[in-house]
Structure 1
Amino acid sequence: MGASEVNLFPKRKSFPVLILLFLLPASAFSFSLEGRVKEFTLDNGMKVLMLERRQSPTLSFYIRFRVGAVDENVGATGTAHLLEHMLFKGTRTLGTKNYAEEEKVLSRLDSVVATLEAERAKGEKADKDFLRHLEETFQKLQAEHKKWVVKDEIERVYSENGAVGFNAFTSQDSTAYVVSLPSNRLELWARIESDRLLNPVLREFYSERDVVMEERRRTYDSKPERKMMEHFLAASFIAHPYGRPIIGWASDIQSLDRQATEEFFRTFYSPANTTLAIVGDMNPEEALPLIKKYFERIPRQVLPPPLKTREPEQAGERRIQVEADANPELIMGFHKPNSPHPDDAVCEIIEGVLSYGRTSRLYRRLVEGEKIAVSASASNGFPGERYPNLFILSGTPRHPHSLAELEKALLEELERLKKEPVALPELQKIRNQIQTSFLRNLDSNSSLAYWLSYGQSLFGTWRYVTDRIQAYEKVTPEDVRRVAQKYFIPRNRTVATLVKPSPTP
C-alpha cells in the first residue's frame, strides 16, 4: 500500500515479443490492441475491460477508481490514502470472528473518539480528569475490539490461492487495487472484490490512522527533499488541490474520522466511477456473466459534480526556500495543460530532450561536461494528469558550485529550446526512446491492466495507450520551440531551493 503511483511493471523474459513490439510502428501497435480489448458497461455504470493473452495460465486484475487526493475536502486531506489502507481490513465476513458483536464495539469506539476529540479541541480549558477517563476507555475498547479481528484475512486467502502482487496505491488522480492470480481463480477474485465494495468494514481505523501519521513522519517530515517538494507544490498551486500532499497534512490526518471516511467511500467508489481491467488467460465472453453476477449487484450512486476550481494564471515568479541540514537541491516548475491537450505530448518530448539518459542535454552539459551538478532532470505532468499540471526541472549542484549556478544553467537550456530548433535526428531519437520505454512497460498482464485502466479512468478511453504513442509522432521542432516560448517564462515559474539553516546569532 502506498501514497503515490509507483512503477508496477514486473519484467517478463519475453525478448522475442519485445523485439517484435519495438519494430511495430504506432499504427500497427494500435491495430494489435484494437479488436482485442473487449469493452463492456454493466447495468450500474461500471466499466469492464478484458484482454485475452494466453502466454501463461494467469490473470492480472486492476480495479481503478477515479478518485484521489485531488477529490478531498478542505480539512480532510489524506482521506483517499487512508481509505485505501482501510479496504485491506476486510468485510462483514472477511476479517472478523463475529461481525454482530464486533459492530457493537466499533460503534462504542466511534462515540468515545468523537467525545475525546471534542474535549481535546478545548485546549487549555479541557477537563484533564475527563480526558484521562476517555483515553483509558478508548484503550480498553481498542483491546476489546482486537478479540473480534482476524488479521489480514483477505491477503491470506489470496496467498493460499497463488496470488502475487496484491497491493494498492493512491495518487492525486485515482486509487487502484491490484492482484494477479491463476486463471482458474477468477470467481474467487470477483467474490472477494465485490464483497469489499458492497460490505467494507473500516475496522482498526484509529490505529491505522496512527500508522499513516507515522508514515508521514518517516517519509515526509524527516526527509528534507520530500519536505521541499511538499512546500514547492503548495506554492505552485494556490487554488487547485494539486497543491496538497497525497498523504495529507498532519493536522488533517489526526482528525480524520471513520464516518466521514465511509461517506467518502460511498460517494466516490460508485460503479460509475470504477474501471475493472482484466488481462490474461480467459475468454472475455465466458468471463462476462461471472463479472455481472458479482459486480452488477453493487448499487449505482450519484457522483458529485466535477471540481470547478481552476488554478488562476500565475502573475509573477514565486520563490520559496526550505532550510534543512541536507545537501542543496533545486526544483523549478512551470504551469502547462494536461493531456489530451497536444502541448502535453510536446512537453514530454522536451522532457526527453533534456533528461533521457546519458546523451540528454542536461546530463551531457551539467553533469558530464561542466560538472555543475551531481544530477539534473526534467519531468512532465506533475503531480497529476486529470487537471493542468507542471513541467518541472530539478537538480543537485556539485560542490563547490552553487544553486544559483545550477539554476542559471537550467534556464539557459530552456532558452536554447526557445531559440534553436531541435534537430530532426535528435527529435526522432527521443520519439524512439519514449515509445520503446512505453512498449516495454506493456510486456506483462499487470502492466497492460495498469495502462488500460489508467486511460479509461482518467481520460475516458483505454485507447489512451495507443493515442499517446501516435501523439509523439506529430510533434515537430517548431512545436518544441513554440511550447518552450509559451510556458517557460519567468512569470509562470515557481522555484524552490533546499539550503542549510542560517547560523543563529
Structure 2
Amino acid sequence: MGGKSYIFSDSLQKDAGLPMFQASSYGTQPCSTPSRSGTLTKIKLLGALLMALALSPLDTLAAAQTSSPARLAYHGTLDNGLEIVVVPDRRAPVVTHMVWYKVGAADEPLGKSGIAHFLEHLMFKGTDKIPAGEYSKIVARLGGQDNAFTAQDITAYFQRVAKDKLPKMMEMEADRMANLKLAENDVLTERKVILEERRSRVDNDPSSLLQEQMMASLYTAHPYHTPIIGWETEMKGLTREDAIAHYKKWYAPNNAVLVVTGDVEPEEVVRLAKETYGKIPANPAVGAPRKRPSEPEPVAEKRVLLRDGRVGKATLERYYTAPSFNTATNGEAEAMQLLGRIVGASNTSRIYNKLVREEKKASAASAWYSGLALDNGRFGFYAVAAGDNKLEDIEASIDAVIDEVIRNGVTDEELERAKTSEIANLVYSSDSQQSLAHTYGWSLATGRTVDDVEARSERLKAVKREDVQAVAAKYLKRKRSVTGYLIPEPSQVAKVDPRPASAGGTLH
C-alpha cells in the first residue's frame, strides 16, 4: 500500500496567513476557507493562559521561551536542535501532532526531481519496530487519522488522535525519523505509484499542465521552476539509493519542527519529546540556512499557450514574481496580501466586478497573493471566458484594473474592508487546532518565527493606501510575469464513411 500524501503548492495561496490548499500541487485555484467559528475573547484567554505557562519551569527549555501580550504558543528547542511549538486548546480531548522537515522539492539534486515527494511516500514503509505498510493502519486502529504532504520548501507528516494516544504518535514518528527501512521491492512498487499519480493529477489535467509550464517559464534559475511531483523522465530513474541519500541528508531533529496543538500541556509535550525525539542525535551537516540559485531580475514577459481537446472553456492565468513573507521588507508582503483581496479575492473585488458583472466577459475571475515560500512569492490572476469572449479581451480588462490601481491607488473603504477580512480569517483560523498547527509549522519551517506569526494582525493594520499602490507599481510589471492561455481545441473524432453498406450488410 502506498503512503497517503498530498502535494501542496504554497504558491497557489489565496489567504497568505493560513495554508488553504487543494490536495494537489496543480489545482487550478486555491480552495476556499473552511467555515469556522471563533472569537477574540477565546484568543485573549488562551494567550493569557500560555503566558502563565511560559513562566513555569520547563527545565533547560525554559530559557528559549519568550512572552508577549499576544503570545499563543510555547516555543523552545531541544539540545539536539529540534524546535518545539505547543498551542494548547482544551475544548476537545484531541491533539494534532505534526513534524515539519525543512526540505522540499526546491532542495533536490539536479536530475532527481520528485525525490522529496517520493521519500514522503516511502516514509510509510516501516522500520524495525513497524512492519512495512502498517504505520497508517496502527494510527487508524487507535482511532486517529494521519497523512503527509510535500511542497517546494517543506515536507510534513501529521496525525490527529485522542490526547492519550499522543505518546504513541511521538514514539512512532521519532522512530521513522531515524530508523526508516526500505526494501528494493517496496521502492519499485512505490515508484509506480508516484508515476501514476503524475499521470492522473497532471498529464490528464490540462489546467495542471498549463500551470506546470508557466512555472517552468516564470523562474529562470531558481528551482521553483521544477514541479513538486517531478518530471516524468527523471521520476522513472529514482532509486532506493536516491531515497536513502535524501533521507540521511535532510531528516534529522535539527532540521525539523515539532508542532503539537490541542488538549495538551507544554510541560508534558516537552517531556515526551525528550523521551522520543531527544534520543536522536543532531546531524552536523544540516540545519544551516538553505542556499539556492538566485533568480535574476526579469527582463522580458513570457507567454505560454496550451491547446487541448479536453478543455471546455478558455482560461487565462498570469503569475508575477513577488517577495514572500520571509523575504519582503517594509511591510510589502502585507501590502501585497491586501492588494490581492481588494483586486480579486471575492465577488465584490475589482476584477470580478469588471469582468463578470459589468463586461460579462468571464464566468469567473480572481486574483491572489502567495507569500508562504522560503524564497520568492507570487501574485496571480485567473479568469474563465464566458461564451465566445476572447482571452485577449479578458487580458486587456485585467490590465486596465492593474493600471487603475497603479495610477490612482485604492480607496480607504477598500483598504479597511480588506483588513477586516484578512484579520477575521486569522481569528477564525485560530479556532482550529489543525489550522494552528499548519500556520506555525509552515512559518517556522520557512524562516519565520512565532513572534512573526502572532504579529500578523498588527502588521496588516499598519498598511497604508500608498503602500498598496507602491507594491502594485513595483511588482505588477509585465516583465515580471508569465501569462498562460488554455485554449479548447476540437477533438479529432474518427470519421464514419457515409456510403451505404453493401447488400445484406450492416453499417456500424
- TM value normalised by structure 1: 0.82
1:83-102 superposed Cα distances (whole Å, 9 cap, x missing partner)? 11111121122125xxxxxx
1:432-452 superposed Cα distances (whole Å, 9 cap, x missing partner)? 111112221221222111111
1:200-245 superposed Cα distances (whole Å, 9 cap, x missing partner)? 1234111111111011111101111100000000000011011111
Q: Does 1:440 align with 2:444?
A: no
Match of 1:18 among 28, 35, 39: 39
Secondary structure of residue in 2 paired with 1:263: helix
Secondary structure of residue in 2 paired with 1:296: helix
CA contact (8 A) 2:40 2:427 kept: no
Secondary structure of residue in 1 paired with 2:131: coil
Q: Aligned in 2, Cα 1:19/1:371: closer, same or farther, shift over 3 Å?
A: farther
Q: Distance in 1 between matches of 2:449 and 2:209?
A: 35
Deviates most, 261-270 or 463-472:
463-472
Q: Distance in 2 between matches of 1:21 and 1:423?
A: 32
Q: Aligned in 2, Cα 1:471/1:34: closer, same or farther, shift over 3 Å?
A: closer
1:48-447 matches, cutoff 5 A:
48-96=84-132, 152-164=133-145, 166-203=146-183, 204-301=186-283, 302-303=285-286, 306-325=290-309, 326=311, 327-340=313-326, 341=328, 342-381=331-370, 385-447=373-435
Q: Distance in 1 between matches of 2:195 and 2:230?
A: 9
The code of the aligned residue for 1:283 comes to: E
Deviates most, 35-44 or 190-199:
35-44
Partner of 1:126: none
Q: Aligned in 2, Cα 1:219/1:180: closer, same or farther, shift over 3 Å?
A: same
The code of the aligned residue for 1:362 comes to: I
Q: Does 1:456 align with 2:444?
A: yes
Report the structure, 1 or 2, having the larger helix content.
1
Q: Does 1:4 align with 2:4?
A: no
Deviates most, 403-412 or 362-371:
362-371
Deviates most, 254-263 or 306-315:
306-315
Secondary structure of residue in 2 paired with 1:401: coil
Q: Distance in 2 between matches of 1:33 and 1:277?
A: 21
1:365-416 superposed Cα distances (whole Å, 9 cap, x missing partner)? 111221111111112127x511123211111111221000010000100001
Q: Distance in 2 between matches of 1:339 and 1:438?
A: 15
The code of the aligned residue for 2:6 comes to: G
The code of the aligned residue for 1:320 comes to: V
- TM value normalised by structure 2: 0.82
CA contact (8 A) 1:12 1:443 kept: no
Q: Aligned in 2, Cα 1:401/1:309: closer, same or farther, shift over 3 Å?
A: same
Report how far residue 460 of structure 1 moved: 3.6
CA contact (8 A) 1:454 1:462 kept: no
Q: Distance in 2 between matches of 1:498 and 1:162?
A: 44
Report how far residue 463 of structure 1 moved: 2.7
Q: Aligned in 2, Cα 1:272/1:377: closer, same or farther, shift over 3 Å?
A: same
Report how far residue 77 of structure 1 moved: 0.6
CA contact (8 A) 1:168 1:178 kept: yes
Q: Distance in 2 between matches of 1:430 and 1:201?
A: 50
Q: Distance in 1 between matches of 2:248 and 2:384?
A: 44
Q: Distance in 2 between matches of 1:411 and 1:10?
A: 25
CA contact (8 A) 1:321 1:496 kept: yes
Q: Aligned in 2, Cα 1:65/1:469: closer, same or farther, shift over 3 Å?
A: same
Give the unaligned 5+ runs of structure 1: 97-151
Report how far residue 285 of structure 1 moved: 1.4
Give the unaligned 5+ runs of structure 2: 10-18, 22-30, 52-66, 493-508
Q: Distance in 2 between matches of 1:498 and 1:443?
A: 39
Secondary structure of residue in 1 paired with 2:273: helix
Q: Distance in 1 between matches of 2:427 and 2:40?
A: 10
1:136-194 superposed Cα distances (whole Å, 9 cap, x missing partner)? xxxxxxxxxxxxxxxx3111211121213x11111111111111111111211111111
Secondary structure of residue in 2 paired with 1:463: helix
The code of the aligned residue for 2:173 comes to: E
Q: Distance in 2 between matches of 1:494 and 1:158?
A: 44
Report how far residue 470 of structure 1 moved: 2.0
1:61-87 superposed Cα distances (whole Å, 9 cap, x missing partner)? 111111111111111010111111111
1:343-369 superposed Cα distances (whole Å, 9 cap, x missing partner)? 121111111001222211111111122
Report how far residue 14 of structure 1 moved: 7.7
CA contact (8 A) 1:44 1:300 kept: yes
CA contact (8 A) 1:72 1:80 kept: yes
CA contact (8 A) 2:72 2:454 kept: no
Q: Distance in 1 between matches of 2:414 and 2:84?
A: 40
The code of the aligned residue for 2:112 comes to: A
Secondary structure of residue in 2 paired with 1:255: coil
Q: Distance in 2 between matches of 1:497 and 1:336?
A: 21
CA RMSD of aligned residues (A): 2.8
Partner of 2:472: 484
Secondary structure of residue in 2 paired with 1:321: strand
CA contact (8 A) 2:127 2:179 kept: yes
Report how far residue 492 of structure 1 moved: 1.9
Secondary structure of residue in 2 paired with 1:408: helix
Report how far residue 44 of structure 1 moved: 0.9
Secondary structure of residue in 1 paired with 2:409: coil
Report how far residue 332 of structure 1 moved: 1.3
1:232-260 superposed Cα distances (whole Å, 9 cap, x missing partner)? 00000011011111100001110001111
Report percent identity of matched pairs. Answer: 27
CA contact (8 A) 2:305 2:487 kept: yes
Secondary structure of residue in 2 paired with 1:61: strand
CA contact (8 A) 2:71 2:451 kept: no
Q: Distance in 2 between matches of 1:178 and 1:486?
A: 39
Number of residue pairs matched by the alignment: 445
CA contact (8 A) 2:44 2:70 kept: no
